[in-house]
Amino acid sequence: NVSYKEDIKATRQSLPCFRSRTDLLTMIRENQVSIIVGETGSGKTTQLPQYLYEDGFTANGKMVGVTQPRRVAAMSVAKRVAQEMNVKIKEEVGYSIRFEDYSSPKTRIKFMTDGILLREVLLDNDLDKYSCIIIDEAHERTLNTDVMLGILRVLLQRRKDLKLIITSATMNAAKFSKFFGNAPQFTIPGRTFPVEINYSKYPVSDYVEEAVKKAVNIHLTTSIESGDILIFMTGQEDVEATTESIQEKLLEVYRKKGEASTFDEINNIEIFPIYSSLAPELQSRIFHKLDKSKRKIVVATNIAETSLTIDGIRFVIDCGYSKLKVYNPRIGLDSLAITPISLANANQRSGRAGRTSSGVAYRLYTEETSETDMYGSTIPEIQRTNLSNTVLLLKSLGVENVMKFPFIDTPPMQTLLNSLYELWSIGALDNFGNLTKLGIDMTKLPLQPSLSKILLNSIKLGCSSEILIIVAMLSIPQIFKRPKEREKESDKARSRFFVAQSDHLTLLNVYLQWKSNHFSSQWCAKHFIQGKSLEKAEDIRKQLLRVMEKQKFSLTSAGSNWNIIRECICTGFSHQAAKLSGLKRYVHLRTGMHTQLHPTSALFGMGDLPSYIIYNELLMTSTEYLVCVTAVDPFWLMESGLLLYDIKKKDEINDYSIGLLGTNSKLNNNEVE
Ligand code: ADP
Ligand code: MG
């Protein structure tokens, strides 16, 4: 296999990083912290860890740890590096993402999500297993990256031998340098080619439709050799819709010409969707080189913006939006919202067309919109998301006053206060803001605080087997399929699983039926259920089960008493409770915000809607939807201290004020007036 090795060697040496190899290693050896800036595709992620490995940074038996903001990226680059080093994954090169650990004592280069490294700090405060940490894609400024940078700043004082390398695609480098006492910056010289930018002349009403039109048009009017197409969409749903629609449109054209009768017969094109929850086998296909007579169209979420480099792209189509988690500190709610991207993102997206030669970018928004609706750069996640998990983590690391933690950009005070409140209200913090026994137990589970709480509580309430299933089912996206041409049929299939009063119990029901059908994939297909998702859920369930066994948390079953399961769920989500108001609307109890049930909820079609519910997620589109809802008894909410229920008047006393850390003694005793 000599020629294969030669190929890899040549490819590695052709990357811009390679010419700077010596300089990079010198800088890293001479400084504790280094900042490295380089264009996407210059080799930062795949090459730097190998340079460190080759240069003896792991000779002492320690590892080079590389963090990625995205699971897909961690997995994909690990596989690539293993291939370049000609080793099997889990040996010298490994990766670890939540619920999947492919590392071993042999591993010297370990890719992981930034969240995994945060959990490792909890177990080993000094990160002794590592000689170097690379915080990759730092410009993304994910919540976990920002928190990790703060923790590392303190840790570097204790571990003088630990090297920290921060890589960033574009700007922001100065900010990282300043945060680490003017650490040196190195810019990898690279070359990019000009990209012609085309804005839409008129505002676009349906960006999926418009993107499809553009892609089909490019494919039909340019030669195949002129290059591949990359389309940016916001999430799995519109990625899939775009992919399907391009296939349909092209089939229509080729059918008219009498050249094909099914899409598979169209032999000059392949379309690849990519988003984070796509199965890994399908993800890696986007890197395969196609034969010269074929054009590749990749339809991606912002995962292809900087984390993954796909070679050969000459045309970029950018819808101008992305799905962001947004937190409203005033009302204390987190939601996923489709928001305009920033100008920096727009430039990154267009830039993907000019990596190997000049290219063209089509922006599906007007130039004017880009000036009025887009920020210069995206607001860091830490300033727009719920911080409960972060606060819990910092508390368990012994940070007493989270307001004094060295954040690279400080989060809004109100957000920190809300998180402290939420953690106190679910019993993770005591009245002095210290971790309770429950809070400590919660940090042992790789789940968000509310889910940890219900899982821990279920042990006592006698339904941990069932809650374990529900938690696992909540960790995966989309269980039901809803193919375009068979919507009615699939809706009917779904409704057969409905458990009155609860989407959570509906999930449990799906799982139990799947189990009694011997986990069959045919059964899934027949009932419009995503078999792969259920398998994933089962995998997560088993892993959580292992964590529980290790912690000696016992498994208990509610049998047929499913009421107790609803009560248990209520104990973790009382801060996400709402009351029926009018015919179909719900009012969020703590804030008075108006919302409504998502049309897919099992609570529809059961006659009267329940007066009180808790929900798992809030989806903000043009309307605010509650996703995954369970009816609850107001007495349960009362017990959790959120709702003060006047038994005589049978009405809640709204809007009581509450001291941040529970200084209201009445509430601490759960007294009811
Ligand atoms: P950077 O981190 O600077 O953006 P990378 O190290 O990710 O750059 O990429 C360097 C090169 O390796 C690119 O040409 C990219 O296409 C290639 N590459 C990265 N991952 C894979 C993969 N999984 N399969 C094939 N090629 C890959
Ligand atoms: Mg990279």
Residues 284-313 pLDDT 10s: 888 888 888 999 999 999 889 888 888 899
Task: Report the separation in Å between the CA atom of 171 and the middle of ligand 1, taken as the mean of its atom positions.
Answer: 20
Task: Report the separation in Å between the CA atom of 81 and the middle of ligand 2, taken as the mean of its atom positions.
Answer: 12
State the pLDDT at residue 333: 57
Tokens of 226: 């002129």
Tokens of 61: 């038996």
State the pLDDT at residue 606: 66
Q: Is the CB of 38 under 6 A from ligand 1?
A: yes
State the pLDDT at residue 296: 96
Q: Is the CB of 7 under 6 A from ligand 1?
A: no
Task: Report the separation in Å between the CA atom of 66 and the middle of ligand 2, taken as the mean of its atom positions.
Answer: 10
SS3 463: coil
Does pLDDT of 652 surpass 80?
Answer: no
Q: Is the CB of 18 under 6 A from ligand 1?
A: no
Cα–Cα dist 194/358, whole Å: 5
State the pLDDT at residue 437: 94
| Per-residue b or e along 438-463, where b marks 16 or more CB atoms closer than 10 Å to that residue's CB | bbebbbbbbbbbbbbbbbbbbbebbb
Q: What is the pTM of this model?
A: 0.82
Cα–Cα dist 415/333, whole Å: 10
Percentage, residues of the chain above pLDDT 70: 92
Q: 141-155, 280-294, 517-531, 532-546: which range is least confident on average?
A: 280-294
Q: Is the CB of 76 under 6 A from ligand 1?
A: yes
For residue 14, the tally of other CB atoms under 10 A from its CB is 11
In this prediction, residues 335-361 reach a mean pLDDT of: 90
Task: Report the separation in Å between the CA atom of 39 and the middle of ligand 2, taken as the mean of its atom positions.
Answer: 9
Tokens of 648: 């005589």
Residue 480 neighbours by CB under 8 Å, 6+ apart? 490, 493, 494, 528, 529, 530, 600
Does pLDDT of 146 surpass 90?
Answer: yes
Does pLDDT of 95 surpass 70?
Answer: yes
In this prediction, residues 76-99 reach a mean pLDDT of: 95
Cα–Cα dist 375/273, whole Å: 28
State the pLDDT at residue 664: 29
Q: In what order do the strands lie in the sheet with 63-68?
A: 100-102, 93-97, 109-113, 63-68, 130-135, 163-168, 33-37, 185-187
Cα–Cα dist 116/98, whole Å: 7
Cα–Cα dist 19/393, whole Å: 41
The confidence band for 341, taking pLDDT boundaries of 50, 70 and 90, is very high
State the pLDDT at residue 418: 84
In this prediction, residues 553-570 reach a mean pLDDT of: 94
Task: State the average pLDDT for the chain.
Answer: 88
The confidence band for 151, taking pLDDT boundaries of 50, 70 and 90, is very high
Does pLDDT of 662 surpass 50?
Answer: no
> Ligand 1 atom closest to Cα of 308?
7
In this prediction, residues 102-118 reach a mean pLDDT of: 96
Cα–Cα dist 463/469, whole Å: 10
Task: Report the separation in Å between the CA atom of 308 and the middle of ligand 2, taken as the mean of its atom positions.
Answer: 7
Mutation test residue for ligand 1: of 15, 19, 46, the one with most atoms within 8 Å of CB = 46
* ipTM tops the 0.95 cut: yes
For residue 468, the cross-strand partners are: none
The confidence band for 667, taking pLDDT boundaries of 50, 70 and 90, is very low
Task: Report the separation in Å between the CA atom of 129 and the middle of ligand 2, taken as the mean of its atom positions.
Answer: 23
In this prediction, residues 469-493 reach a mean pLDDT of: 87
State the pLDDT at residue 656: 33
SS3 237: helix
Task: Report the separation in Å between the CA atom of 43 and the middle of ligand 1, taken as the mean of its atom positions.
Answer: 6
User: Over the stretch 201-214, which tens digit does the pLDDT of each residue have?
Assistant: 999 999 999 999 99
In this prediction, residues 571-587 reach a mean pLDDT of: 87
Q: Whose CA is nearest to atom 22 of ligand 1?
A: 80
State the pLDDT at residue 600: 85
State the pLDDT at residue 421: 85
Q: Whose CA is nearest to atom 6 of ligand 1?
A: 43
Task: Report the separation in Å between the CA atom of 374 and the middle of ligand 2, taken as the mean of its atom positions.
Answer: 25
Q: Is the CB of 167 under 6 A from ligand 1?
A: no
Does pLDDT of 348 surpass 80?
Answer: yes
Cα–Cα dist 605/506, whole Å: 14
Distances (CA, A) of 286 to 97, 594, 624: 21, 42, 35
The confidence band for 663, taking pLDDT boundaries of 50, 70 and 90, is very low
In this prediction, residues 413-418 reach a mean pLDDT of: 88
The confidence band for 171, taking pLDDT boundaries of 50, 70 and 90, is low
Q: Whose CA is nearest to atom 23 of ligand 1?
A: 80
- 19 φ/ψ sector (left φ>0, alpha ψ -120 to 50, else beta): alpha
Does pLDDT of 334 surpass 80?
Answer: no
Q: Is the CB of 43 under 6 A from ligand 1?
A: yes
Q: Is the CB of 44 under 6 A from ligand 1?
A: yes
Q: Whose CA is nearest to atom 18 of ligand 1?
A: 309
State the pLDDT at residue 650: 44
Q: Is the CB of 352 under 6 A from ligand 1?
A: no
Ligand nearest to the CA of 38: 1
Does pLDDT of 654 surpass 60?
Answer: no
Q: Whose CA is nearest to atom 14 of ligand 1?
A: 41
> Ligand 1 atom closest to Cα of 137?
2
Per the listing, tokens 């998990």 go with 389
Q: Is the CB of 42 under 6 A from ligand 1?
A: yes
The confidence band for 4, taking pLDDT boundaries of 50, 70 and 90, is confident
Cα–Cα dist 333/614, whole Å: 13
> Ligand 1 atom closest to Cα of 38?
3
Does pLDDT of 666 surpass 60?
Answer: no
